[in-house]
Structures are given as C-alpha cells and as structure tokens.
Chains A and B, each alone.
Chain A
Amino acid sequence: MCLLWACLLRVSRSTSCFSPVSCSSWAAAARRCNRWVLGVLAAAVAAGTAPGSSVRAAPGPRRITTDGRRKQDLAWSPDGRLLACSLYHTAGQIGVALFDPAGRLVRLLSTDPVEMAPAWSPDGKRLAFVHVTHSGTDGELDIHEMDLEGKTRRPVIEERKAFDMYPSWSPDGRQLLFTTTRDRTQEIYVSRADGTAPRRLTSDPSLKQHPCWSPDGKEIAFNSNRDGNFDIYTLDIEGQNLLRLTRERASDTWPAWSPDGRHIAFVSRRDGNPEVYVLNRDGAGARNLSRAPGFDDCPAWMPDGRTLTWVSDRDGGWDVYVLQP
C-alpha cells in the first residue's frame, strides 16, 4: 500500500513533459534514423528545455519556472531581479509570490487566504496588491501595499461594498491606477499613491480590465468591451483622447506597455486560443509571439525592454516563459 501511494504521489507530481522519457524518445528517434547529427540536436533541445537548464536550445520562448503551479499577474521588479506574481499555492489559496530570474521561488509573501495582482513601486521597495477580506464566505477586494518581506502592510484603497482591482503605480511613483465598482459600473480611477484624491478616468457601462501606465506616465492602456467584445484601448491621464487599438472579433486583453513605449503586448483569442501578441503603439503591426495550441497569457516586459515574459501551459503545467521578440 505504501508503495502504491508513493507511486501515486510521484506520478501526480510529475507534471513536466521534459522527463527522462522524453529525452530517451528523442534519442530513440535519432537511432532509428541512423543520423547521429539528429541525435545530437535532439539531445540539445531536450537538455535546453529541461528544468533548471540555462541553455537556450532554439529560438522560441524559454521556460524559467518548473513547478507547474498556476501563475498570473506577472510583474518584474524595476531592477529585473525579482518576478512578482499571483500564485495558486494551496488548494483554494492564491498569494503573492516572488521568483528569481532563474524561476526559483524566493518567497511567498501572502499569509491571508487570497492576495493577488502585485504591482511594483518604481523604487522597487513595495508592492501594491489586491487584498481579500472575508466576511463569512463573502469576499471584499481592496488594494493594499507591503514591503518585500510581506511584513509591513497597509491598506491603500478601501471602499466598502466595492471591488477594487488591478493596481498599477505611475512611473514617478506618485499615483496609483486601479479599477473599482464604487460607481456601480467597473471604472478606471487614479489616486495619489497613498490612495487619497481618487479621480475617475472613465465613465461608461462597459467592463474595463488591466489598466497600465505608459512609460512616460501620460497615458494608460486597458481592455474594455465598450465596442462589443474586449479590445485594447489607450486613454490620456486626463481621461481624454480614447484610442481603440484592436478591432478583432475575438477578445484582446492584458495589455502591457513596453519600457520604451513603442509597443504594447497583449493576449488575443483571434487564433482560437489565448496567444501573446505585440503591436505597435499606434495599433498597427500586431503579431503572434507565443504560437502554441494551449494557453498563453499574462504578458509582462522585463525592464531591459527587450525581453517579454508570459505564462503558458504548453508543457503541461503553468510556467513562466521568456522571449526576446
């Protein structure tokens, strides 16, 4: 019986498809073809994508985490040394976690059952995030901030009977962008960094998600269904000059502005499944970067401006991949 359960446990945890089996399969294929070159290439590919490997085998996204747990809301620290995200770490629990660039879990910051959607302060010392307060089995979503140890915490946006989400610090650290349902529709607001002086930027009955700042702090990008399905829009920080960037008959969501301000990465279902796309600032030149049949979402640029990161289930689990487009 012990053997049985040990076996069950082992198999249930082996969610990676890059197991020794896959390596040996490649080798077997090479032998059958009797082409040693193919064998060498196959081994290189398998090794390059194995957990913990730093070898880049071929052009294409490189996997950096290997635990396979669901991750969302990726955000790189300003110095590029830490990746914050929402991590589904235990059954029924979602917390803010920090990973290093090699994909190793540095620390789980959340002790409460549900905390998520972290956003870095520009000085890299604090994280704003969505905090859930339970009353019975009802949850209320507010925005809190904490230090990188998860010890010093304080509420920033607390509006009773409203759901506050998607915090995003302005590039100068003085303002906070977020969505809220305080007006009985989901609207985008901006406030001072301490949560005071909230100001409404949008006013229409559509849904708005994932607002993020342009690097110069003059505009925001977000997705909304104001014209039917979800598309990507930009808006200046006074709530004027709305510009629709995508016009597909499929959802476009999760905009992420590149550090140089020239591109916006986003998630599109135009190919039938969620794929990571990038387009130019004016909405032209959309192209698919992920190109996998499964789920690719939550894009985030690294601070170098040349590397894009996202979450994909292409290898069975939910892991973080990086690519230099």
Chain B
Amino acid sequence: MLCIGEQRQEWCGGVRRRALVQAGFLGALGLTAPQHAGLCSAVAGRAVILLWLWGGPSHLDLFDPKPDAPSEYRGPYPTLETNVSGMQVTELLPALARRAHQWALVRSLFHQQNDHGIAGTIQMTGRSPQNGRVHPHAGAIVNRLRGNPRLLSGFFVLGDRLQQGHRLIQGEGGGQLGVVYDPLRVTYDPVAGVQLGEVQPPRGVDSARAGRRRSLLDHLAERSPTPTPARDAEALGQMYEKAFSLMTSSEGRRVFELEREPPKVRDAYGRHRFGQSCLLARRLVESGVPFVQVNWSTHVEAEEDAGDGGWDNHYRNFEMLADRQAWPFDQACAALLDDLAQRGLLGTTLVVAVGEFGRTPKINPNAGRDHWPGCYSALLAGGGVRGGQVIGASDARGEAPAAQPHTPEDLCATVLHSAGISRTDVLALGLPVEGEPIHELF
C-alpha cells in the first residue's frame, strides 16, 4: 500500500491513477485556464451528455404508454399528447411533452441480460464483457479520440461509482484503453454543494507541500517495480503538468461553481441532486468537455431498499414514479434542453436518457414492475438528432420490439457517431466494433 496523506492506495503492478491524482494535488483543477480562454473554439466541438437512469425506469409508465393494454399491464398514468402530433408520453412528463419537437424516442431497444450490473456494462460500453475483459465506456473512447489535450479530462461522471447492492459494476472506465481514460468524478449534494471527489486536495496540503509531494511521486514512479506503460506514463505526465501548472489558479475551478449561475437558471433545473448535476454537465460541455455522464443515483435501489432513489421499483413503482422520480427527471431534462438550445449548444451536444433496461409490462403482485430487457426506450436530443420523431415501436403490451429493433450496441454506436467517431476510428484503437448507428435519428 502507498499511503499519501490521508489516502491509502494499492501500490502493486504500477501506479494507480487515484493515488497519483491525489498525491499530485490535482485538487479542484478539472479544467485549464487556457481552455477557458479558448472557450469559443471548444464550444464548436461535439459533445455527449448521458443521463444515466440507473435501476431501469419503466418504459410503459414514462415513454411508451399503452392505454389500450389490459389493466394489469397499462398502469395508472394516462397518456399525454406532446406538442408534436401523434407523439405521446404519460402525464408524468409534462415539461418534456411541451418540448417534443426537440427530442426523439427509440422505443424498440432490447437485449437479453436481466441483471443490472451486466446490463449496465453492456449499455455503457456497447459490448458484453469478453473473457473477463471489459470494453471501454463510450465516454472513454470519446475522451481518447476527441478529448481536448488542454483538458485534464475529456470524460466526467457526475456521481459516485455505480453499485448494484454492495457490488461495484464494471464498464464505467477506460477498459483496454487504460486508466488514463477513466472518468473524473464530481458529485453534487443538495446541502454540501459540488464535491470534487478524487480531485479534492487533502486537508492541510498547500501548494508548497504539494510540490514536495510531486517530487516524491516522481521519485516513486521511477522506482516502481512495474513501470507504467510508456503511453500511459506520457499521458499521466501531461496530466500532472497541466494540473500542477494551474494548481493555484481559480480559473480552472470556475466551471464547478454553480453559484455563478443565475438563481432562476438553478431553479429551472431543480435544486435536487439530479437537476444541479445536469446544470453542471451543461457547464462542463460549454467548457469543452466532450463527454459527461450524469448518474441519476449510485444505487439501483430506492431508499426503502437501502439505496438512494434508483429506478429499480419492484414494489411501490407507481408511488415512486409520481412522488420521487418522474418529476425531477422531467424538470431537469427539460431545463437542460432549453439551456443548451438557448446557448446554441444543442446542435452539437447529444443528450441521451436511458437506463440499463425497462420494466415488466405486467404489474407484479407487489404493485411494482420487475426487470425487463426485452423492450425499453431511450430519449435522444441534440447532436444532430431530429426531434419530434419515434424510432421503432413496441408491441401492444410493450413486451418486445414490433418494428426496427435496436440493441445497446446500436445505441452506443449512435453516441459515437454523433460525437464524430467512426467505426474506422474505433477499429484503429484495436477495439472491436459491434452495432450500427441508428441513422434514422439524424
């Protein structure tokens, strides 16, 4: 173990990124000053905001209502006409319904994994784990190919490591691309505000002390029995240089300072964790970060199941949706689309809202819905997506795709396509490619 300040980190087989980041006092230096200076050029780049609805929201009760299905399927929430003729959602999404011209739905996603963790890995990486190897997250690929070299990271996750029960899930990192392309994590707490997490400087470490730690770090890295691969070492070195050169700069921290936003804007997103995280995502994208994932929750489970409000509503599904889940999602997602559009960023920023699967069309004996990978929906907006359209369709009960079936691999390919990354680009990284972009969206 390597003990650096208050942090104890493993030291075997190379240098762990988290330890290096903290030792290096990257604290609060998510972005560089030159990057802010070059804001205009950064805005021109393409970006992706993935709203990760962890736990698996019910497609029937939100995006794919089935008013003519039998009562044990359709659920209690009536359909709501959107501002696009013929497009409907349920009454739980009134704000998004008024903006349907901005977004599209894919109602025919499916796969075969009923487990949150595996399904989540597939959805985020676009591929099943093969022989224990986990494919890189789409954000890591975007970071590798489209990341601005002036940025500390081109891939942020707003939220803690995703968990299923007490198990951390795979697929949130750089995979074969290396830990350098893991996301940087920032969290928002309604009371404590923005928490910089792993880039937080340890208490009591000032810039002089950080400099001494940097020297120690260099020394240790040189003496590491298993040197970091050359490519990673170079990337890590660049990262540290950027961070140290700006260690005392307040410029780089500005992007995290939500209080710079007018109260009206913050209110529009909602003063809850998801809403303020969506606002932070917009600020990051505006500053040039090409991929931001906003985690709805850390756990799949609701508070009643020792979680923190995930969409895994095996019971009380209809109370959870109405009381705790649908309204903050509707509020924050609508505000995000408005904000991006107002700033001229929606055309270049793809917003995707999706979970790892849908939920059983048939209501279970506990007044809930269980896991259902056989058919589910995703909402996509911006980034070249034509709003006001529905791609694919589910059958009469929402149990299976009835037209234009698509897989998580297709959705992942669509995300990369919108980010300007081709199949050839991915193959050139030595990564296999599965799935095809859903071209009808564009």
Contact = CB atoms under 8 A, between A and B. Distances in A.
Interface stretch (B168-176, B217-225, B315-323, B415-423): B315-323
A207 B302 CA distance: 20
Contacts of A312: none
A139 interface: yes
Contact of B306 (A5, A72, A139): A139
Contacts of B76: 207, 225, 229-230, 251
Interface string B217-237: 000000000000000000000
Interface in B291-322: 299, 301-309, 315-316, 318-319, 322
A58 interface: no
Contact of A141 (B258, B259, B304, B363): B304
A139 B305 contact: yes
Interface stretch (A37-45, A90-98, A118-126, A189-197): A90-98
A54 to B, nearest CB: 26
A184 to B, nearest CB: 4
A17 B263 contact: yes
Interface string A238-260: 00000000000111010000000
A5 B94 CA distance: 36
B166 interface: yes
Nearest to A141: B304
Interface stretch (A130-138, A148-156, A279-287): A130-138
B397 interface: no
Contacts of A250: 78, 91
B72 interface: yes
B77 A4 contact: no
A114 interface: yes
B189 interface: yes
**DSSP majority for the A interface?**
loop
A225 B94 contact: no
Contacts of A251: 76-78, 91, 322
B305 A9 contact: no
Interface stretch (B126-134, B191-199, B375-383, B403-411): B191-199
B308 A249 contact: no
Interface string B351-376: 00000000000010111000000000
Given A15-B271, A186-B367, A8 B305 contact: no
B190 A93 contact: no
B71 interface: yes
Given A206-B71, A249-B78, A114 B193 contact: no
Contact of B259 (A7, A93, A226, A230): A7
Given A206-B71, A269-B91, A137 B166 contact: yes
B253 interface: yes
A253 B308 CA distance: 25
Contact of A317 (B71, B271, B302): B271
Give the residue among A17, A92, A132 with the most B Cβ atoms within 10 A.
Answer: A92
Give the residue among B201, B307, B315 with the most A Cβ atoms within 10 A.
Answer: B315
Given A8-B259, A12-B192, A15-B271, A93 B91 contact: no
Contact of B71 (A17, A137, A225, A297): A225
Interface string B54-77: 000000000000010001100111
A8 B193 contact: yes
Contacts of B315: 141, 163, 181
Nearest to B250: A4
Contacts of B267: 17, 316
A185 interface: yes
Given A94-B303, A229-B76, A4 B253 contact: yes
A7 B256 CA distance: 12
A134 B305 contact: yes
Contacts, number: 118
Nearest to B188: A12
A137 B165 CA distance: 6
Nearest to B318: A207
Nearest to B163: A137
A132 B304 contact: yes
Contact of A12 (B28, B94, B191): B191
A185 B365 contact: yes
B257 interface: yes
Contact of A205 (B72, B78, B258, B316): B72
B2 to A, nearest CB: 25
Contacts of A181: 315, 365-367
Given A163-B315, A273-B94, A134 B306 contact: yes
A228 to B, nearest CB: 7
A205 B301 CA distance: 26
A272 interface: yes
A253 B321 CA distance: 14
A303 B363 CA distance: 38
Contacts of B303: 92-94, 113-114
A13 interface: yes
Nearest to A136: B165
Interface string B80-101: 0000000000010010000000
B180 to A, nearest CB: 27
B326 to A, nearest CB: 11
Give the residue among B165, B267, B365 with the most A Cβ atoms within 10 A.
Answer: B365
A21 B267 CA distance: 15
Contacts of A205: 71-72
Interface in A1-59: 1, 4-5, 7-9, 11-13, 15, 17, 21
A219 B331 CA distance: 38
Interface of B: 28, 67, 71-72, 75-78, 91, 94, 165-166, 189-194, 201, 250, 253, 257-259, 263, 267, 271, 299, 301-309, 315-316, 318-319, 322-323, 327, 363, 365-367
- Which A-B residue pairs are the 3 nearest by beta carbons? A225-B76, A184-B365, A12-B193
Interface of A: 1, 4-5, 7-9, 11-13, 15, 17, 21, 68, 72, 91-94, 113-114, 132, 134, 136-139, 141, 162-163, 165, 181, 184-186, 205-207, 209, 225-226, 228-230, 249-251, 253, 269, 272-273, 295, 297, 316-317
21 contacts: A8-B258, A9-B192, A12-B191, A12-B259, A17-B263, A91-B189, A92-B303, A94-B303, A113-B303, A139-B302, A139-B305, A141-B304, A141-B316, A181-B365, A207-B76, A207-B318, A225-B71, A228-B67, A229-B77, A250-B78, A269-B91
Given A9-B193, A249-B78, 20 more contacts: A4-B250, A4-B257, A9-B192, A11-B193, A12-B190, A17-B267, A93-B303, A113-B306, A136-B306, A137-B307, A163-B316, A181-B365, A184-B365, A186-B367, A207-B363, A207-B367, A228-B71, A229-B78, A230-B77, A272-B94
